[in-house]
Every structure is written in structure tokens, then in C-alpha cells.
């Protein structure tokens, strides 16, 4: 197999742990609610909100704006009253302050020594830049749905990475912990690597991380991926 020139990474769940930081922030600001249920509902609202944008029901929004839209709906659903706007903004900003998985920084640094590494996330550029500073993520380049005005799994996102670097799709490898993301990337001609993140939804809800047999690589971590790619 030919080697990729660029590794493009999904971020939420693949490189950073969203569940624990968000759950802790919800618990801090909304102690009266079930933080676990609130956190999972917030994440679950993400795909439906994107579909509302893609269908034309809502205008284009960044993920920051989508997160805030979902958060306001959840505050009503969970009957949380009296939060000041500054507190709501602080709570919504938790998505900028997510922590890396224990292997992420080392794995990315090793991979960066041989490959161009970039994000390919639905998160907006400001969010991803703040997260990189918070978590110490050594990206060469931050690419976002915001650039392409399309969310994954729209082909414009995957092909957009290849276009930015003037590469054929097969010279880009998509790295993600989500099979649907990888399937969409493969359909566009990208190479793919699956990263196991069994605790993405918290320790009480382990994910099925079995391979579907279609991925070029199946790694337990980003360090393992670096080993597989000979870095």
C-alpha cells in the first residue's frame, strides 16, 4: 500500500475525550440535574442540529452556535432556570477545553515527525485552535467544516482536504473513532484508520470497537497507529 502524505483527524472522541470534561462542567454549573444524562443528550443533539442546517431549515451555523442552540433547549428540558448569560457562555465553552486521551499527544507528535497532520472536524476553527492550546495538540494545520461550509459526512469535507494540499484523495488518510466517518471518507477515495475509543460515552457505556473489516488500519490508540505506520 502506498503511504499517505497527510493524516486528517477527527477530533471529538478520537483525539480528545468529550464526555468527562463536559460532564464535570455540567455538574459544576447545574448541580440539580443528572450530569451524565445532560451530557449525553447534549452530544446526541449534535447530529440532528446539523441535519436541520443541511436541510435548509436553519442557516449555516458553526458548531459553537449549534452547541449553544442545543444547550438552551436542554436547559429548558431539564428545567434549569436562572443561569446568567455569562454562565451559559462559560458552560458552552467547555467544548473548547476538552482533554486529550492519554495517548493522543505522544501519538500525534510521533506521527507529525513523518506526516503532515491536520484536523478534519465539524468543530469550528476558533474552537479547534483553543482546544489545541488547552490540550497541547501539535497540529500542522487546522481544517474545519467551517472552511468548506459543509459538515462531515459531506464529500466536500474529505475531498476538501485533498484539494487544499493539492493531493489525490488516496494520498490522504482519515483517522477516526467512528465507522460512519471512515465509511464516508473511503467512499471519497481516502485511506482510513480506525482508532478504538471504548469509553467515548463514559465508562458505564463501553462502545463496540470491533472492526468492520474495511479499514486499512485498526489501532488501539494513536501510539499504536504510529507503530503501525513505522514512526
Q: How far apart are CA 125 and CA 9, in angstroms?
A: 14
pLDDT given at position 216? 77
CA dihedral 52, 53, 59, 61 (to 10 degrees): 120
Q: Is 121 helix (H, G, I), strand (E, B) or coil?
A: strand
Report the alpha-carbon distance of residue 26 to residue 146 in Å, rounded. 26
Range with the poorest average pLDDT among 104-113, 204-213, 214-223: 204-213
- What is the tens place of the pLDDT at every residue in 67-77? 999 999 999 99
C-alpha R_g of the chain:
18
Confidence of residue 19 (pLDDT cuts 50, 70, 90): very high
Secondary structure in 3-state letters for 18-45: CHHHHHHHHHHHCCCCCHHHHHHHHHHC
State percent of the chain over pLDDT 90.
92
The percentage of residues in the chain with a pLDDT greater than 70, rounded to a whole number, is 99
Q: In the prediction, which pLDDT does 96 show?
A: 98
Bin 166: left if φ > 0, else alpha if -120 < ψ < 50, else beta.
left
pLDDT at 208: 86
Per DSSP, the three-state class of 194 is: strand
- pTM for the complete prediction? 0.95
Q: What are phi and psi of 185, to 5 degrees?
A: -65, -45
* Residues with Cβ within 8 Å of residue 109, at least 6 apart in sequence: 138
Residue 24 reports pLDDT greater than 70: yes
Nearby residues of 76 by Cβ (< 8 Å), 6 or more positions away: none
pLDDT band at 115 (very low <50, low <70, confident <90, very high): very high
Q: Residue 1 — pLDDT band, cuts 50, 70, 90?
A: low
The whole-number average pLDDT for the span 72-93 is 96
Helix (H) or strand (E) holding 174: strand 172-176
Confidence check: pLDDT of 214 > 80: no
Domains present along the chain, CATH in parentheses: 6-17+98-228 (3.40.50.1000), 19-96 (1.10.150.240)
Give the integer Cα–Cα distance in Å for 21 and 94. 7
499517505: which residue's cell?
A: 4
Question: Over 70: is that where the pLDDT of 22 sits?
Answer: yes
Angle at 60 between CA 59 and CA 62, to 5 degrees: 135
Average pLDDT, the chain: 95
What phi and psi values does residue 12 have, to the nearest 5 degrees?
-65, 115
pLDDT tens figures, 138-196: 999 999 999 999 999 999 999 999 999 999 999 999 999 999 999 999 999 999 999 99
Amino acid at each position: 500500500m502506498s503511504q499517505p502524505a497527510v493524516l486528517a483527524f477527527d477530533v471529538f472522541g478520537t483525539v480528545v475525550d468529550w464526555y468527562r470534561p463536559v460532564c464535570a462542567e455540567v455538574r459544576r454549573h447545574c448541580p440539580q440535574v443528572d450530569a451524565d444524562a445532560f451530557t449525553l443528550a447534549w452530544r446526541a443533539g449534535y447530529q440532528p442540529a446539523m441535519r436541520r442546517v443541511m436541510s435548509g431549515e436553519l442557516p449555516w451555523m458553526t458548531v459553537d452556535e449549534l452547541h449553544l442552540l442545543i444547550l438552551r433547549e436542554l436547559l429548558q428540558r431539564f428545567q434549569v432556570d436562572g443561569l446568567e448569560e455569562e454562565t451559559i457562555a462559560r458552560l458552552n465553552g467547555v467544548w473548547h477545553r476538552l482533554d486529550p486521551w492519554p495517548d493522543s499527544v505522544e501519538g500525534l507528535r510521533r506521527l507529525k515527525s513523518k506526516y503532515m497532520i491536520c484536523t478534519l472536524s465539524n468543530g469550528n476553527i476558533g474552537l479547534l485552535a483553543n482546544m489545541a492550546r488547552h490540550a497541547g495538540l501539535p497540529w500542522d494545520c487546522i481544517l474545519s467544516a467551517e472552511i468548506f461550509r459543509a459538515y462531515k459526512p459531506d464529500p466536500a469535507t474529505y475531498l476538501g482536504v485533498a484539494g487544499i494540499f493539492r493531493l489525490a484523495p488516496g494520498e490522504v488518510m482519515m483517522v477516526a473513532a467512528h465507522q460512519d466517518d471512515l465509511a464516508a471518507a473511503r467512499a471519497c477515495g481516502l485511506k482510513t484508520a480506525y482508532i478504538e475509543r471504548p469509553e467515548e460515552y463514559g465508562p458505564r457505556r463501553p462502545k463496540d470497537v470491533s472492526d468492520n473489516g474495511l479499514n486499512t488500519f485498526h489501532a488501539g490508540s494513536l501510539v499504536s497507529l504510529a507503530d503501525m505506520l513505522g514512526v
